[in-house]
Amino acid sequence: MWQSPPQHGVCGEEPKGLKDYEDMLFLQGASHDHLKELMLWEEQVRGRGPQADVLGGQREQVLHGMMNLAARSQMNQDGWSCAVSLLDSYLASLGAEDVTKGTQMLPLTCVAVLRLVKKFHGNVAEPKGSFNMWLSMAKQVLPIQGKWMEFSETMLRQHEVDILQSVQWQVQEPLQQQFLNIYCTRLGAMTSQQYEPQIAWVKQKSMFFARLLLFVESASENSPQEFALGMFCLHLARGQLLSLHSLRPDEVPVAYWTSALQQLSLPCNVEASSFQALPLVEAATAASRRELKEATRRGVERLLELRVKHPAMRAALNSE
């Protein structure tokens, strides 16, 4: 069943003084310049062309194993998704001749990316002798077929360095989640935090689908910004801050749009609250009205496609 977000009062006044407002966004890591940097980064990644998903058919199993390994090492979902992004980036950086080796080293790579995220984001030094603990847990939860290669702690440390060099020593969240964080922070600032409960709910639900997407495809296969924008708009509509009919592209027939929303159990007939957010959403996302509508359409189509192709995604959509 779809849950309704918490209700709250009316929109407050905009922050006083443009400079104060810009300073506030800068301190929260959500400045317009930061948003533009993310857009540029995505363009550079996409400019390299689509990267094959090295994990292929074992992707879901491997990521489930990584999730279990992350839980055993007391990492949260943000840490897991960051590790998955790092894994995808590293595997995508391998040349054709290195893919086989990359597959053989997969257990060590899974351990390495989780340890790197824990060290970078948790600022936690690994205790002495932790290598055997990590490897033992990995053997229990990672679905690796055949005989395991023998790994040493020296190999693990060198592999961590190789992974960091492949991503230029940048350990970051998936782009979808970075865009969502900025969109929610900027919209919250633009409404003087008067809609903080609703926006927190929108962020939680949108992040759920961003993480779910990692299970079925590499982050490089589609536009992270477009998916993040689509999820953001859809969940603003679920929270009755936007009308889904106002997000229908002009070229999409009303009957088709209504049918698609009904298949996803989205509230196609619910009107938005008195808070008219479209102009603010345009400003928060640096997207035009047409771009918002197109991203929402792609988001709806993407969820319908995933719902058909992936039983696990269908179950998650139904339970959400």
Which has more confidence, 175 or 312?
175
Of 3 and 262, more confident: 262
**Identity of the amino acid at 32:** H
- Average pLDDT rounded to a whole number, residues 284-296: 92
Per-residue confidence band for 74, with pLDDT thresholds at 50, 70 and 90 = confident
CA distance 92 to 52: 7
The burial class, CB within 10 Å (0-12 / 13-18 / 19+), for 176 is: buried
Give backbone dihedrals phi and psi of 221, rounded to 5 degrees, phi first: -80, -25
* 74 Rama sector, left if φ>0, alpha if ψ -120 to 50, beta otherwise: left
Alpha carbons 285 and 33: distance in angstroms, whole number:
12
The yes/no answer on whether domain 48-166 falls in CATH 1.10.472 is yes
In whole angstroms, give the CA distance from residue 254 to residue 225. Answer: 26
Q: Where are the beta strands (DSSP E) in 59-191?
A: none
pLDDT at 199: 92
Residue-wise pLDDT tens digits, 4-63:
444 443 344 444 455 666 666 777 667 778 777 777 767 765 555 445 567 777 888 888
pLDDT of residue 114 exceeding 50, the answer is yes
Band of residue 124 on the pLDDT scale cut at 50, 70, 90: low
What sign for the dihedral angle of Cα 163, 141, 130, 117? positive
pLDDT in the model for residue 100:
65
Q: Is the pLDDT of residue 233 over 90?
A: yes
pLDDT at 12: 40
Phi and psi dihedrals of 265, rounded to 5? Answer: 55, 35
Domain residue ranges of the chain, discontinuous segments joined by +: 18-30+174-319, 48-166
The pTM of the full predicted model, rounded to 2 decimals, is 0.78
Residue 161 pLDDT exceeds 80: yes
CA distance 49 to 138: 32
Query: Cα–Cα distance between 120 and 125 in angstroms, integer?
Result: 9
- Tell me the C-alpha distance between 101 and 108, whole Å: 11
Q: Are 112 and 153 in contact (CB under 8 A)?
A: no
Rounded CA-CA distance 125/254 in Å is 56
Cα angle value 267/272/277 (rounded, 5°)? 125
Structure-model confidence comparison of residues 4 and 284, the more confident one: 284
Between CA 29 and CA 313 the distance in angstroms is 32
Burial class (CB in 10 A: 0-12, 13-18, 19+), 303: buried
Question: Does 267 score more than 70 pLDDT?
Answer: no
Tell me what pLDDT residue 173 has. Answer: 84
Q: CB-based contacts of 48: which residues, under 8 Å, 6+ apart?
A: none
- Three-class secondary structure assignment of 272-290: CCCCCCHHHHHHHHCCCHH
